[in-house]
Structure formats: C-alpha cells, structure tokens
Amino acid sequence: MLLKRVVAGLGIAGVVLAVTASLMAAETKSGPATVRRERVVTLTATVEAIDVAKRLVTLKGSKGNEVTVTVGEHVKNLPQVQVGDQVRVKYYEALAFRLVPPGETTPSASATGAAATAQPGQKPAGVGAREVSVTVTVEAIDRKGHTVTFKGPEGNSVTVKAQDPKNLEKVKVGDQVEITYTEALAIAVEKAKQKS
C-alpha cells in the first residue's frame, strides 16, 4: 500500500517543498532529457489515534482505510501531533533517458541526496530527495519487439520495452545513454481544522 510506504518515511520527509519543486523543474545534470517520464502522487490522511510513548500513529485515508505506523526516534516533534491533524504527503518520481553525444564523458554512476526536517516545537514535517544516474551502453535493439538491451558499468545487461517505439529510431548499438532516476518525498502535519 503506497500510503503505508510513504507515511513510514515520516521522519525523513515534509515542509521544504522547494526541493521537490526544483527537482520537478530540473533536467539531467548535463543537458536536457531526450525522454522523460514523471508522476506526482498526493495523499492526505487524518490522525485517528496517537500513542506517543509507543510512537504509534493511526492514520485514516480519504477512502476510510486505516493504517498504524511506527514513527522513528529521529522524529523529535511527535508530541506536537494531535488526533484530527492532517498528514499531507507528496511523492514525486521521474525517469529520464538522455543520449550522450559522442566524445562527452559522463560518470558511470552517481547518487546524490538531501533531507530537511521541521524546527523543534513545530508539527513534524520534512522533505527527502535523491537522484541516481548511471551511464549505460546500447548493446542490442529489437525494433520489431520494441525493446533495447543496455549494458551497465559493471557489465550487467538488462532489456527494457520502449514505451514509445519511435524513440528506438534515435539510438544505435554502441550509443551511450545516461539514465537518471529522481524521487522526492515531502510530508507535513497540519493542525486540525476548528469545527464551527
């Protein structure tokens, strides 16, 4: 269940949505992406119960589904959470493929990450992001089956089906392709709305 997976990251993710926005706007490090797929998932849940001593929070999703999660010790502001508070989760991921021009050098693999959390005394919140890039070599192309086989920097091969077969016309065996995977998770706990 995505809600359980995303909410379990409460301690590493939240309020600084600027990181997510910058990742959404960014292209790969060394130029515009040739092919880019991305998605954003936004979830909201209500705090139904909380046991600060056991660090358990029960959340109820918009469809009535409930999940109880254990909140890690790294979440310092757990006592600020109250029943009725809203937990807003935004998850972003993108996959970009860029044909590396002949003669351009790129690292075979790299990874970067960032995280930020709420200030002491505030509702728990944070944001976490990471980006992983790898440069692979086109080993084989099956135009009828719409697949391409890539060879990674450690010699491993993987065959993938092209979502748009027209993209296979842009590559040939021996080409290098930079693949960049980006994900960001932002979680914020907001005070319960006052009933009128």
Tally the domains of the chain: 1
Residues 6+ apart with CB under 8 A from 125: 14, 15, 117, 118, 187, 188, 189
Whether 196 is in a domain gets the answer no
Tell me: the pLDDT tens digits for 154-193? 899 999 998 888 888 889 999 999 999 999 988 888 887 7
Tell me: the pLDDT tens digits for 108-136? 888 898 888 888 888 888 888 999 999 99
Residue-range definition of the domain harbouring residue 74: 2-190
Whether 34 is in a domain gets the answer yes
Q: What is the pTM of this model?
A: 0.64
Tell me: the pLDDT tens digits for 17-55? 233 333 333 343 445 447 788 999 888 999 999 999 999
Counting beta carbons within 10 angstroms of the beta carbon of residue 60, is it exposed (0 to 12), middle (13 to 18) or buried (19 or more)?
middle
Whether 195 is in a domain gets the answer no
The Cα 27–Cα 98 span in angstroms is: 10
